[in-house]
Amino acid sequence: PSHGAWRLAIVAGEPHQFGLARMFAQARGAEDDRIRVFRNRLEALAWSGILETATLGGGCFWCLEAVFRRIRGVVEVTPGYAGGHDPAPTYRAVCRGTTGHAEVVRLLFDPTRLPYAELLRIFFTLHDPTTPDRQGADVGPQYRSIVLHHGRIQADEARGVMAQVEEEGHWGAPLVTELVPFERFHPAEPEHHRYFERNPTRGYCQLVIAPKVARVRDRFRDRFVDPGE
C-alpha cells in the first residue's frame, strides 16, 4: 500500500483457475485498476511493484543476457526486440535493419537488492556506449546503445548515471545512448535464450561474450554470482 493505494495480483496457473480468478476480478469491478490476473508469477510480482522492469540494449542480446543472468538481484532475463515499428519482428528482419528494433534484454529485478542506478552502471560497463549502431564487429541499428525507461523515475536516474559515466571518461568519447520511453517488448525466438550457457565453446561466445562476462565479474565482484553458486 502507498498513500491508500493497493494492488492485488492473482496468479492462476491452470486454465480453470485463471477463469475463476478473472470472474472474481470482474465481479469486484477492478480488474484494470486494482486487481489483475496473471499466469506467470514473475509478471504478477512486477505489476504489483515488488519487482521492477528494465529494458536495455547494447549490442548483441546474447552478451547482455549472459552478464545479467549472473548479477545478484536480477530475477529474470529475457532477450528480445524493442524500439522499432514492425508489429511482429523476427531475428532475420531485425538483422536486416528494416524494423527499427534494437536487440535488448528485459530484466525483472529486485530493487531492494539491486538499485536501478547500479544496474545501469553494470550496463555501461559491459558495452561501449560511444559507438553509434555498433559494438565491435557487430554493426547495424539493432546493435545501438539504448535505455528504454519505464517511467519518469527511471528516466531521471538514467540521465544521472549517463552524466556520471561521461564525466568519468572511461570510454574516452561522448555517449550516444538513446534514452526513450518503453513502448513494447517482443521476446526473441527460443534459440536465442540462454545462448551463452548452451554454446560456451562457440567462437563468438569465447571471443566476444566471455571477455564481457569477465570484465563485469572483475568490476562488480560483490554483485556477481557464477552459475551453480
Residues catalogued as catalytic: 60
Q: What spatial distance separates the first Cα and last Cα of the chain, rounded to whole Å?
A: 34
- The CA-based angle 69-75-81, given to 5 degrees, is 65
Provide the residue count of the chain: 229
| Residue 168, helix vs strand vs coil | helix
Q: Which of 64, 103, 70, 68 is nearest to 189 (CA)?
A: 103
Cβ count near 45 (within 10 Å)? 19
Say if strands 74-82 and 102-109 run parallel, antiparallel, or are unpaired.
Answer: antiparallel
Q: Which of 99, 121, 119, 128 is nearest to 55 (CA)?
A: 119
Residue 224 C-alpha cell reads as: 556477481
Q: How far apart are CA 2 and CA 160, in angstroms?
A: 26
| Residue 185, helix vs strand vs coil | strand
- Which run of H or E residues covers position 203? helix 203-204
Residue with cell 520511453: 181
